[in-house]
Amino acid sequence: MKPKIFITRQIPTHVMNQLKEVCDVSIWNEEDTPVPREILEEKIVDIDGLYCLLTDTIDEELLQKAKNLKVISNMAVGFNNIDVDAATKRGIIVTNTPGVLTETTADLTFALLMATARRITEASDFLRSGKWSSWSPMLLTGQDIYNSTMGIIGLGGIGKALAKRAQGFNMNVLYHNRSRKLDSEQELGLEYCSLEDLLKRSDYVCIMTPYTPETKNMIRDEHFKIMKDTSILINTARGGIVNENDLYYALKDGEIWAAGLDVFEQEPVDFNHPLLTLPNVVTLPHIGSASIGTRTKMAEVVAENMLQALNGEIPVNIVNKEIVSNKSPISYFN
């Protein structure tokens, strides 16, 4: 019997075909919408593998219903949508998709930084709404990027890729991370500093850290107060790392100059969210890794991780490595 897997969204045909060759596949195939919780609860009972997205909440309550689940393969580098401890407790492997999306997400982060600094969306809307009457010295003036200081909070792969882009703009790059990365300091000329120092000195504060209980609301009122009033906050990591209410007031009261946000605490963000009313906020619908090539590679990596786990191998991108040491390898293919 083929292992049973459930896929929570449409995926590229070649990846689907690859999975169908060796697995009994079912897919939530409504128009591009997240799978309803009740369907997930029904499916989870007897599947061996789950191919899920960051829009799917895989919590303890759901996992309690899973009788055969061996692997949860998440199509994202972030896995804050999954209760990894609950999965580990049940011997379920969790995997993610690091690496393949690094450069694409760094590109988008730099694009958002530039759009926010130079007021690109505001300027485009201004022109299209017929308000442009003449060239004017102070019309839609923004902040300089070249020669400025970038502060990166969380120096993982994407943070480093962002630092490389900053080098091209002759930026001075500071970083704050749980541990110092001496190699990267040398390779990229980065300066390690405390969070407080980074916030005080940076023109661009870029959030690149994973979302965990420790980083929830990590940037809040007291931090905006010490940032420069000309500074710009860029968040392409997870919305909940920044306290959105405090950010709103910091932007409104001029404690910081602008923000570029690809992520929100609740997604999709409510259309009436106060942050969307501010002209000095550039917003995107969580598209950091959204290039055709990268999203295709992510789907391929999810499938590869899934098949490795079901074949009794240690998946390349296992998140909860601790469980494999207690397991003897079993293949679920026959």
Shortest reach from residue 55's CB to ligand DGY, in Å: 10
Shortest reach from residue 3's CB to ligand DGY, in Å: 25
Q: Which 96-135 residues touch ligand DGY, going by CB under 6 A?
A: 101
* Closest to ligand DGY by CB, 79 or 175: 79
Beta strands in 2-88 (DSSP E): 4-7, 24-27, 49-52, 71-74
Neighbouring CB atoms inside 10 A of 272's CB total 7
Query: Which of 265, 272, 278, 193 shows the shortest CA–CA distance to 232?
Result: 278
Marked catalytic residue, from 165, 176, 223, 286: 286
| Coil, helix or strand at residue 20 | helix
Among 78, 151, 239, 315, binds ligand DGY (CB under 6 A): 78
* Closest to ligand DGY by CB, 231 or 289: 289
Q: Which helix (H) or strand (E) holds 204?
A: strand 204-207
As given in the structure block, the two tokens for residue 90 are 């049940």
Stretch of 75-83, 146-154, 240-248, 316-324 contacting ligand DGY, by CB under 6 A: 75-83
153 binds ligand DGY (CB under 6 A): no
Shortest reach from residue 78's CB to ligand DGY, in Å: 3
Find all residues with CB under 8 Å of 38, minimum gap 6, and list them.
Answer: none
C-alpha–C-alpha distance, residues 31 and 22, integer Å: 26
Binding mask 283-302 for ligand DGY (x = CB under 6 A): -----xx-------------
Shortest reach from residue 320's CB to ligand DGY, in Å: 17
Marked catalytic residue, from 9, 176, 238, 295: 238
Q: Is 238 a catalytic residue?
A: yes
Stretch of 16-24, 62-70, 71-79, 214-222 contacting ligand DGY, by CB under 6 A: 71-79
What is the DSSP pairing of strand 93-95 with strand 71-74? parallel
Find all residues with CB under 8 Å of 218, minimum gap 6, and list them.
Answer: 153, 209, 241, 242
Binding mask 36-65 for ligand DGY (x = CB under 6 A): ------------------x-----------
| Coil, helix or strand at residue 122 | helix
The secondary structure of residue 219, as a DSSP letter, is B
Shortest reach from residue 258's CB to ligand DGY, in Å: 22
C-alpha–C-alpha distance, residues 143 and 146, integer Å: 10
Shortest reach from residue 326's CB to ligand DGY, in Å: 28
Question: Residue count at the site for ligand DGY (CB under 6 A)?
Answer: 7
| Coil, helix or strand at residue 4 | strand
Tell me the β-bridge partners of 235: 207, 261
* Closest to ligand DGY by CB, 27 or 77: 77
Which phi and psi (to 5°) does residue 63 adopt? -65, -25
C-alpha–C-alpha distance, residues 46 and 56, integer Å: 18
* Closest to ligand DGY by CB, 101 or 318: 101
* Closest to ligand DGY by CB, 255 or 304: 304
Query: Which of 97, 50, 48 shows the shortest CA–CA distance to 70?
Result: 48
C-alpha–C-alpha distance, residues 6 and 46, integer Å: 10
* Closest to ligand DGY by CB, 86 or 287: 287
Shortest reach from residue 17's CB to ligand DGY, in Å: 23
Q: Is 304 a catalytic residue?
A: no
As given in the structure block, the two tokens for residue 317 are 């991108």
Among 58, 77, 111, 302, binds ligand DGY (CB under 6 A): 77
Which residues are the active-site residues?
238, 267, 286
Contacting positions for ligand DGY (CB under 6 A): 54, 76-78, 101, 288-289
